[in-house]
Amino acid sequence: MRKIFTEYYSPQKNIFFQHLLDYQDEENAQPFKAESHSFYELLFVVSGKAEQMINENRYLASAGDLIVLDKQQLKKQQYLLQDGDYERYVLRFNPHLISLDSANINDIFHLLLFGNNGVFTILKQSDTKQANVAEYFQKIERLTLQPNDECTLIQMIATILDLTTAIHKQNQLGTLAPVQVQVNEHIRTIIQYVSDNIFSNLTLEKMATDLYLSPYYISHLFSKYMGMPLKKYINNIKIHKAQELIAAGESPTATALKLGFQYYSTFFNTYKKILGQPPSVDKHTNDVDRKS
């Protein structure tokens, strides 16, 4: 079961914040769903433990941990542990919340959170305590109680920038506590294959041939392990890539062809289903994914 303490959307839906708690309730248990979206995500665990799936990686998140996800990563909460409550903050924001084009830094947040590589970062309690991570999330929550106007938005963006800068400084120290992550190599191979062939007409049969695995095994393994059908995952990755291309000035028609869609109608309907609006040339205006 789930209890939501705070939920906030900025006026243009480019910032999402949530303070929530999951707790054991066998009578009303609901399966956790996998998700993928086009925003950066920071998940800070306040209390409790839960297993998290991040692409092919399985990680046991506990109090004080911070998980930082790049856009378009597949995430799933597996289950709760120790019959306790799992309380956390979730912050998602548009990668283009701040852009410094004049300094050739088109995505300052990616630079601060991931440097030149990586798609996710995990900071243990000892590191988040040193970086005062909890205080930044608490400040953001206090800001959500203020009028949802331009002044609050500016304070919110400034606090997010302070938070990501603190994470960057902690990463730069080179003394992060070790993190134990279990990896499923077949899932890693499948995800890498999708990434490498994103601009082609991906089919299960072609993937099975190239990876020397049976179509049934690939489909069954991915759905069981990740909690999402492989076809849905491929469509999500393609559409989020399409969103980037269109925001950069590519036409929807050219984008559909580039991403291997044989029919524009299929692309159009898939785009609208996943992002909630038809493809357009508007820059960076898509709403944040509201699942958590």
Query: What integer pLDDT is reported at residue 28 of this predicted model?
Result: 47
What average pLDDT is seen over the chain?
83
Q: Choose among 152, 129, 130, 132: nearest CA to 142.
A: 152
Tell which residue, 291, 289, 292, 285, has the closest CA to residue 12: 285
Whether residue 174 is predicted with pLDDT greater than 70 in this model: the reply is no
State the Cα–Cα distance between residues 9 and 92, nearest whole angstrom.
10
What would be the CATH architecture of the domain defined by 2-172?
Answer: Sandwich (2.60)
What is the model's pLDDT at position 184? 80
Which tens digit of pLDDT belongs to each residue from 54-80? 877 778 888 999 999 888 777 777 666
Per-residue pLDDT averaged across 1-6, rounded?
89
CATH no. for 185-275: 1.10.10.60
Q: What is the pLDDT of residues 194-238, one digit of tens each?
A: 989 999 999 999 999 999 999 999 999 888 877 788 998 899 889
| Res 222: pLDDT | 87
Distant-in-sequence, close-in-space partners of 66: CB < 8 Å, separation ≥ 6? 42, 43, 44, 45, 122, 123, 127, 128, 133, 167
- pLDDT per residue as tens digits for the range 32-57: 667 777 888 999 999 988 888 787 77
pTM: 0.72
Sequence spans of domains, the chain: 2-172, 185-275
